[in-house]
Amino acid sequence: MSANIEYVIYLSSLGLGSRHSEDYGYWTGRDYVHDGELFPCTESKITQNTKIYHSKKTADRGLKCALERPYEYVTCGEVRIKD
């Protein structure tokens, strides 16, 4: 019997240079507005708030959607296996 693999999305802005280069973290699937800018709700580690995907294909679609959102500083992300 194979184990159920779960996936999460990790967002960052590593491609923007030193001024805004930072890891955002594990995406909760939500966002918020601060001073008129849209930001993803993320956490530095996987918690009960982290959006969990039960297939790689769904997680890949979630990542694509996250990167298409008008987040000011998020430029990249990756699907990771939940530990």
Q: Are the beta carbons of 8 and 80 closer than 8 angstroms?
A: yes
Radius of gyration of the chain (CA): 13
pLDDT at position 73 is: 81
Rounded alpha-carbon distances, angstroms, from residue 30 to 1, 5, 8, 20, 66: 34, 22, 13, 21, 9
Q: What integer is the mean pLDDT of 40-54?
A: 95
pLDDT at position 15 is: 60
Strand partners of residue 29: none
What's this model's pTM, rounded to 2 decimal places? 0.85
Q: How confident is residue 74, by pLDDT bands cut at 50, 70 and 90?
A: confident
- Give CA–CA dist 66/77, Å, rounded: 9
Write phi, then psi, for 79 (nearest 5 degrees).
Answer: -90, 130
pLDDT at position 1 is: 45
